[in-house]
Amino acid sequence: MFLDKRKFRCFLLFTTIFISHATCITITCLFIRQLKFYHLELTATYIKDELVEQCKRGHIPGFQALYNKYCKAMYNTSLRIVNNTDDAEDVLQEAFTDAFKSLADFNYRSTFGAWLKRIVINKSINVLRKRKFDIVDIDHPDVYMKPEEEEVDEQEIQFRINAIKNSIKLLPDGYRTVITLYLLEGYDHEEIAEILGITHNTVRTQYVRAKQKLLFLLKQGGLS
């Protein structure tokens, strides 16, 4: 069975934080072919979506159906970034409004969901920028503890992954944004750099610091 990319990255983060370095490398090697598959998938041309085509023809019920199909997922995407329900709701409405106005420009170089998600993410980032957050100048990494090597019972994996997701909500805006885009939304470092308008190296640095902060929060919460 093919492994969902978000689940893979969440599991990989788990291994990076809680399992030995050697084990992490082994797991990475086991799944590297699956990540290559995603690269091929992203460069593919997608089949036309009949619901999208109905909307392009001005079919009013189609717009409502398209909204119902994607609204929950897009709301959750925004909420993970802005961390505020009112802001996420505003982003959702603005994103759908812009998407419907620009529907004629959608050319199936990605799925409609991926295209819409990019709009949602861009608008969510704009909300953070209005808060004057700085993706670069955030918490010094040295104040956080380094990951300790330890073995974990496989039965605890799902529990700890859920704990990671909950702790992500407590991260500062900058860290939460980078780790959410990579871990939960499936963007690579180059794509995140383009979205945030920062360098590829800065993304990597912030991702490492975000993981350090995340470990700190998990240990504070009693997850050792």
Q: What pLDDT, on the 0 to 100 scale, is given for residue 142?
A: 41
**CATH class of the 50-130 domain in this structure:** mainly alpha
Does residue 173 have a pLDDT over 80? Answer: yes
Dihedral angle, C-alpha 202, 207, 210, 212, nearest 10 °: -110
As a whole number, mean pLDDT of residues 97-120 equals 93
Domain ranges of the chain: 1-35+138-224, 50-130
> Of the ranges 64-68, 159-163, 172-176, 191-195, which is most confident?
64-68
Tell me if 113 sits within 8 A of 99, measured CB to CB. Answer: no
* pLDDT value, residue 163: 81
Q: What's the CATH number for 1-35+138-224?
A: 1.10.10.10
Taking the C-alpha atoms of residue 119 and residue 139, their distance in angstroms, rounded to an integer, is 28
Structure tokens at 205: 């640095």
Angle formed by the axes of helices 157-168 and 5-18, nearest 10°? 100
For residue range 196-217, list pLDDT tens digits in order. 989 999 999 999 999 889 888 8
Position 221 scores a pLDDT of 74
pLDDT of residue 161: 74
3-state SS track over 87-135: HHHHHHHHHHHHHHHCHHHCCCCCCHHHHHHHHHHHHHHHHHHHCCCCC
The pTM (predicted TM-score) of the whole model is 0.68
Name the pLDDT band for 86 (thresholds 50, 70, 90): very high
